[in-house]
């Protein structure tokens, strides 16, 4: 468990931000690795609200993986759009003692659809104070929706990997219908996984729960 805390812990800058749903970086260097506990589903020991669900063969270490999710209940299957991605239980490097790390994380492209849909809903409902304040400051023009894992300096453009989307602002107010996703955005970077401000995060989790309930009702 000690190794798990080291490999999954956020940096001290992100670790205790109560207004964010922060997703931990899965080993930020080649020397830190993910070590499996005995449970098939468990919450991250350093981050409440982030869960790992064992999928695949539990008797063969090389065939086992973890579905990384914001939801406490396991996904219906590994293709579910509710999961951020898959973390193999063993590194792709093939070393017998090598546990999986950040370089082995496999992002789920279907998750992006829910992410962008939830941002659109949040913009329509005006639920995010950070975006509201930035829009008022900008006045008019196009505004980026930035991942909070790597916020750019004032008056600087964020990295392409961290720009989730863009939206038009007029007279200090966001025009939700103009929201466009940024194709270059990545779920996982060296700064960690998707990290959203409070209003965006709450809407995302609600969308994930809604999708999970619908999946459970399917035959």
Q: How confident is the model at residue 105 (pLDDT cuts 50, 70, 90)?
A: confident
pLDDT in the model for residue 107: 95
Domain boundaries, the chain: 2-107, 110-217
* Beta-sheet pairing, 188-189 with 192-193: antiparallel
C-alpha 15 chain-centroid distance: 15
Cα-Cα-Cα-Cα dihedral sign, residues 121, 82, 39, 12: negative
pLDDT for the residue 138: 93
Alpha helices in 66-160 (DSSP H): 109-125, 129-138
Say whether pLDDT at 169 is over 50: yes
CA distances to 104, 141, 158, 180, 211 from 28, rounded to whole Å, are: 11, 36, 20, 30, 31
Q: Is the pLDDT of residue 125 over 90?
A: yes
pLDDT, tens only, 129-138:
999 999 999 9
Q: How confident is the model at residue 117 (pLDDT cuts 50, 70, 90)?
A: very high
What does the DSSP 8-state code read for residue 95?
-
Q: 217: how many CB neighbours lie within 10 A of its CB?
A: 6
Q: DSSP state, 70?
A: S
The pLDDT tens digits of the residues spanning 34-90 come to 455 567 888 877 767 788 899 875 445 556 889 999 999 999 988 999 999 998 876
């Amino acid at each position: 468990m000690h190794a798990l805390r080291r490999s999954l812990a956020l940096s001290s800058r992100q670790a205790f931000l109560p207004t964010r749903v922060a997703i931990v970086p899965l080993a930020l260097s080649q020397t830190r690795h993910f070590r499996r506990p005995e449970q098939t589903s468990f919450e991250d020991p350093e981050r409440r609200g982030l869960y790992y669900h064992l999928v695949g063969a539990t008797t063969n270490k090389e065939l086992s993986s973890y579905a990384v999710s914001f939801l406490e209940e396991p996904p219906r299957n590994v293709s579910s759009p509710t999961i951020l991605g898959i973390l193999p239980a063993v590194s792709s490097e093939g070393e017998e003692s090598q546990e999986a790390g950040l370089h082995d994380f496999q992002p789920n492209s279907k998750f992006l659809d829910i992410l962008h849909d939830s941002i659109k809903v949040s913009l329509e409902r005006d639920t995010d104070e950070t975006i509201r304040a930035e829009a008022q400051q900008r006045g008019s023009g196009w505004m980026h929706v930035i991942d909070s894992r790597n916020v750019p300096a004032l008056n600087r453009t964020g990295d392409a990997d961290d720009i989730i989307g863009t939206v038009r602002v007029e007279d200090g107010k966001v025009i939700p219908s103009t929201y466009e996703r940024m194709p270059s955005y990545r779920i996982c970077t060296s700064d960690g996984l998707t990290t959203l401000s409070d209003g965006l995060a709450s809407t995302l989790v609600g969308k994930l729960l809604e999708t999970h309930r619908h999946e459970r009702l399917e035959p």
